[in-house]
Amino acid sequence: MSLLNTLLYLVLPAVALVYLFVRRKLSYWADRNVPHAPGSFPMGSIQGMGTKSHLSHILERIYQRFKSEGSAAGFYFTMRPSLMVTDLELVKQILVKDFNS
């Protein structure tokens, strides 16, 4: 019985910590009120990459979905929050005018 208790005391908190970590990582854009593609563990918003779709097709779908909703949208590349700028003028501002060389 002590082995079962030990496993419960070790495994349950570990699973709970992993769950809370993943949940916190995948709520980054929602916490900041940024329109975003929902993510899931472990691939984030790019589910099917390499098996069903190429990364460029997935990113194009995200772009097409959010280009009318604002100047930027969030998505999750694996578990990492990433920002996609969808407004051409904002892209020019960032890459040309605000770029310090």
Q: What is the pLDDT of residues 23-61, one digit of tens each?
A: 999 999 999 999 999 988 888 888 877 778 888 998 999
- List the chain domain ranges: 2-97
User: For all residues of the chain together, what is the average pLDDT?
Assistant: 88
Q: Is the pLDDT of residue 96 over 80?
A: yes
pLDDT, mean of residues 5-33: 91
Q: What are the backbone angles phi and psi of residue 54, rounded to the nearest 5°?
A: -85, 155
Q: What are the backbone angles phi and psi of residue 45, rounded to the nearest 5°?
A: -90, 0
Give this prediction's pTM: 0.76
pLDDT, mean of residues 61-87: 92
